[in-house]
Structure 1
Amino acid sequence: MPLLAENPNLAIVPDFESNEHAEARAQLINDTVDEQQAADILASLWRIQNNSDKLRWDARLQEEARTAEAERRQAAEAEAQRQQTLLAEQEAAVLEERKKNKSKYAPIRNIDIPSNPIILPCQYAIRRMKSGEFCELFYFTNNGLEEASRAVFTADEDALIMLPTSDGMHKWIPAGAARDPKAQVVKDENLTWEQFNEAAPCMIALMKENDWPDDRVDMHIAFWSALQNHRWRHDFEVHKQ
């Protein structure tokens, strides 16, 4: 069946009563069919054919729509497959690049820039803070920290060194537990207020770093705060200070 060139839904019934269709009417005229009836019969036949053409036209449109949808779907699937292949190739290239240049892609921790000063007292003071033993405040003053920065420590703080004892004998002790014999340690009671203000916050920081119990840390803070806030501390008489 030939394809329709024009949409039959837009077709208009011809005027079968005109002279243009006289020959067609003549073929239908007889003793029982006159001119008008012949024109009506031709119009009816045209409508029957037009309705059939409409069905064919709609079927054609539906088929074309199905074909277009199938082509669109195939094209989309092909494009998706192409994109997936491209992505896989890119991921493989990135993995290969990361393998070749591991340091370039090493993870970076998203942390704030440290703003607190780094406190590095001598090994003796650090060991005391770790064990929770008494340690002079001097080691945490600016002078004490400066001396520690200039000192040369043994690589192993647990290495043993021999030192003389009060009874004149010699004893092996860990290097980290020994005082630097060259250090001029000032007793706590002889520190200036300025040195005390330098040392106290540093020692508190080392206590926290070495997991001192909170009540011990709070005790020192309360005690040192009491000294700082005592009325004699701020008296104009030097003797009271």
Structure 2
Amino acid sequence: MARIASDPVLDIQPDFSSPTFEGLRNCIIGGTQTTHEEVTNKLATAWEQDRDLRVVAWTRQVDEDQRLAAHTAQTERERVDQERLRLEQEAEAELREAEKKKPKINDFKIGAAVGDTLTPCPSQYAIHKLKSFEYVELWYFSPDGCRETADDAKTSADDTFGLTKVEDFVTLKPVASFKASRKAIQDHSLEWRQFDLAKNSFLLYINKLKWPDKHQRALTMFFMNIVSHPSRSEPYRE
């Protein structure tokens, strides 16, 4: 059906009794006995029926136009909302990226004390042994052993490197740092001073490396029993 241009309710019924429609009335009357008044009434009735049909069609057309307009408006609102959300997300992403690139100052704990001594650092070879829960000589944890490790790292001419994992990173380490030291001293050959200092460092590192508490306590008691052995009270038994 063709689109209706205006509301039929506003249409004004023609005056079918006017001279303008006389020719039409004569055509309708023809050779019948119908009067001009009867034809006028029939024309008026037909026009009203046609108008009623056009009013129904107009109402449907208006409803459809409103539905389409509402759908178009909703679609546009959704498009605008999506565009706004996209721009906001892009702005947030740019802000996060900018925050990442900003220089950051390291945090610190107020009132934290800073030690005035450095904990002896044993070789990676010894640390690896502890991580694997394997035996390693106490000498590596003594000041002498840690000092030898530091000196070897400075003077080693071995240019061979290997991969190792430090926390969450993979790094290169000299292969020499993972080798046993030729200067290592067996536990039973350690001087008392070397043993006494090495055991403390050893206990510290097995704690750092999360050895089972049961094993840590057993080793602590083992060393305490040695230190407190009655023979130490005898002359020259340190």
Normalised by the length of structure 2, the TM-score is: 0.46
Task: State TM-score, norm by structure 1.
Answer: 0.45
